[in-house]
Chain A
Amino acid sequence: MIADPYQVLGIDPSADSEAIRKRYLALVREFSPERAPERFAEIRAAYETLRDPVTSLGMRLFDVRFTETFDKLIADEKQQFCGKRIGTDVLLSLADV
């Protein structure tokens, strides 16, 4: 089983994409590909999973390790997108599903 990406990044599942990106950049500076290639690969894989809102939502919905209630999920998503424009790339990736 792949490591829980939220755990790898040390971040709460309710974090929004901006926070995920910030955390990822900070970790890459600390564990650069040059200095810590293996750790970097883990961080990168975790980031790639979470970067895509569709896969991260899918994981929180269906992965047995996540036992959040639907209400919590909906609240998180609402908070993230409330009053914000949804990026074109997100809309496009939703269209692919």
Chain B
Amino acid sequence: METIIGIDLGTTNSSVCLIRNGKPAMIKDADGSAILPSVVGLDSQGRLLVGEPARNQAILAPERTVKSIKRKMGEATTVTMADTEYSPQELSAIILRTLKDRAAQELGYPVSKAVITVPAFFNETQREATRQAGELAGLEVVRIINEPTAASLIYEAKADHRERLLVYDLGGGTFDVSIVQVEGGVVEVLSSHGDTHLGGDDFDELLLDFVCQRFQEQHKLDLREIPTARSRLLQAVEEVKKQLSFDACVELNEEFIAERDGAPLHLKMELYRYEYEGMIEPLLKKTIQCVDDSLQDARLHAKDIDKIILVGGSSRTPLVQQMLETQLSQTPHQEIDPDLCVAMGAAVQGALIAGQDVGAVLVDITPHTLGVQCQGFVHGMPSPHEFSPIIHRNTALPATRSELYSTMFQGQKAVEVKVFQGEDEDVRRNQFIGGFVLDGLDESADAGSEILVRFDLNLDGMLNVTAVERSTGLEDRLTIKNAITEFRAEGHEEARAKLAEIFGDRTSPVSAARHPVSEEPPLPEGERAAIKEAIQLIAKATNLLPQVGEDDVQEIQELIEQLEDAIANHSLPDIGSYRERLEDIVFYLQDA
């Protein structure tokens, strides 16, 4: 039987899972970690870094490192990494490719098919971009499934018992809530709400602003304007944020964060949980509103929910659990690691598609209403911007719906079919998906010649649109015209070539499953710590450079280079000796 892997392509972390002996098994890297940080970078020699090494480099070389690319998926934009422009699809493809290779290495044979998860609230364009990323990574994306739905697939319900689950998924960059009903071997999604731009990253930014403002009051210096200080602090506040889930107060201590008039500046402050909770509460209130909306859409009350399932790293925040408990009068569940359950669910769905009998049949829905623009009424006033829904939100997939429209006047030659996604009656407040012109209509027809518009929404949440003039049978289909689909047409080959180059050339299929990063032997704990400390030291030393004499500059730079080489070669004795020498200089200069 063919293997279909399940991939959770997250904002902060990604992971890959497959079904082994009927059970989901996370695939771990050489260090034994199932999680791959969703960070991509190029080192000083232009070699590709993915995951932990890229994350470490982010402090030193933010200009060569990209984090949280998922937040840009579906946008027609590019990101600069080491002076080269990359599309969000390309960078996501690098992460997917790394996971695919990891799976192939584990299995001993190449994999080519995957189920990839996306936030339930991702729109058409964002889904399309995800699919493209998969293709660029050399994967056939057999299904795109919603993250909260995937998570619900691994909760085994009792037979002949109806259970209603509320899945609260707060990740690094996106938020979803879904209400799911499990009964008689069928998992039905009843409703979904969410926000594709709300997550732990926003909490980090709030914390960063708070810290920087305080620092600015003291030192009249905005750390957010210094790229290296900013990326270093961002990583530091992320740690503080995590720690605040356990402790009421955390000390933030970053030495040599910057310098002014030749004097080094240190950042040292205490952060209290209540302060942090005050910052994020407005954002969390939005998520609670979504919980209410999804209950209403499912026509359920809080008491009808049998279980609350928490998904995503940010759902570990105590305030999240408190607010949910207050709202729904029951304690949320976290039995399965909230970081892993999405990938596991994706693997379950993959096995199901491959024909393995591993779990319940899934009935998912579309969380967005899809429709066309027409002449009509908006807020009771005549308007050419009326949104006429064709497939309503929370409709089960796959779905086919059609609606009749008519021409405006006699002799009309063409109609423009513009497709939108959203809930507002004014199309201008909804998301434009694409459109086409049905040209060559029967000009002899009177006004009111009928045009049938049909929407086919498939299991991936991808839309096909057909418009037919009923009197003549003239028909046209939507080839969505927007930046994302144009990228498929024009930039695809180019992007493939670019990725092939970045991953280096390969010949045999299994060695194709290896790339520079995963070839590295596993790092022992001691070495990992030593490297981390060395990197921090380099950051410190680099900050000192502007305020020291020319001789010292040269010496420091040489030592930094040697230390970087030592890190690259994993030579523990070299790292130790160069670090010692560099530390001495830094210590001496700092006091001078």
Contacts and interface: CB of A to CB of B under 8 A. Distances in A.
B542 interface: no
B400 interface: yes
Nearest to B397: A33
Given A25-B184, A41-B398, A33 B363 contact: yes
Contacts of B400: 41
Contacts of B361: 28-29, 32-34
A22 interface: yes
Contacts of B576: none
B353 A34 contact: yes
Contacts of B352: 34
B42 to A, nearest CB: 40
Contacts of A41: 398-400
A28 B299 contact: no
Contact of B186 (A28, A34, A89, A92): A28
Contacts of B459: 33-34, 37
Contacts of B397: 33
Contacts of A22: 184
B398 A29 contact: no
A17 to B, nearest CB: 13
A89 B300 CA distance: 9
B467 interface: no
Given A34-B352, A37-B459, A25 B183 contact: yes
Interface in B391-418: 396-400
B362 A33 contact: yes
B179 to A, nearest CB: 14
A72 B353 CA distance: 45
Nearest to B398: A37
Nearest to B349: A34
A26 interface: yes
A29 B399 CA distance: 18
B185 interface: yes
B232 to A, nearest CB: 47
Contacts of B299: 89, 92
A44 B352 CA distance: 20
Interface string A33-46: 11001001100100
Nearest to B184: A25
A40 B397 CA distance: 9
Interface of A is mostly: helix
Interface residues of B, number: 18
Interface in B322-364: 352-353, 361-364
A33 B145 CA distance: 13
Contacts of A40: 398
Nearest to A32: B361
Contacts of B183: 25
B184 A33 contact: no
Contacts of B364: 33
B208 to A, nearest CB: 44
Contacts of B398: 33, 37, 40-41
Contacts of A28: 186, 361, 363
Nearest to A44: B396
A44 B183 CA distance: 16
A22 B186 CA distance: 11
Nearest to B360: A29
Interface string A6-28: 00000000000000001001101
Contacts of A37: 398, 458-459
Interface string B191-227: 0000000000000000000000000000000000000
A40 to B, nearest CB: 7
A17 B177 CA distance: 28
Contacts of B362: 32-34
A5 B257 CA distance: 70
Contacts of B184: 22, 25-26, 29
B361, B397, B399: which has the most chain A beta carbons within 10 Å?
B361
B110 to A, nearest CB: 24
Interface in A62-91: 89
Nearest to B355: A35
A28, A41, A44: which has the most chain B beta carbons within 10 Å?
A28
Contacts of A32: 361-362
Contacts of A29: 184-186, 361
A26 B458 CA distance: 22
A44 B401 CA distance: 13
A3 B398 CA distance: 18
A40 B364 CA distance: 12
Contacts of B396: 33, 44
A25 to B, nearest CB: 4
Contacts of A44: 363, 396
Interface in B359-383: 361-364
Given A33-B459, A89-B299, A25 B185 contact: yes
A4 B332 CA distance: 43
A26 B582 CA distance: 71
A25 B353 contact: no
Contacts of B353: 34
A22 B183 CA distance: 9
B438 to A, nearest CB: 25
A41 to B, nearest CB: 6
A45 B458 CA distance: 15
30 contacts: A22-B184, A25-B183, A25-B184, A25-B185, A28-B361, A28-B363, A29-B184, A29-B185, A29-B186, A32-B361, A32-B362, A33-B361, A33-B362, A33-B397, A33-B398, A33-B459, A34-B352, A34-B353, A34-B361, A34-B362, A34-B459, A37-B458, A37-B459, A40-B398, A41-B398, A41-B399, A41-B400, A44-B363, A44-B396, A92-B299
Given A33-B361, A40-B398, A41-B400, 7 more contacts: A25-B185, A26-B184, A33-B364, A34-B352, A37-B398, A41-B398, A44-B363
Interface of A: 22, 25-26, 28-29, 32-34, 37, 40-41, 44, 89, 92
Interface of B: 183-186, 299, 352-353, 361-364, 396-400, 458-459
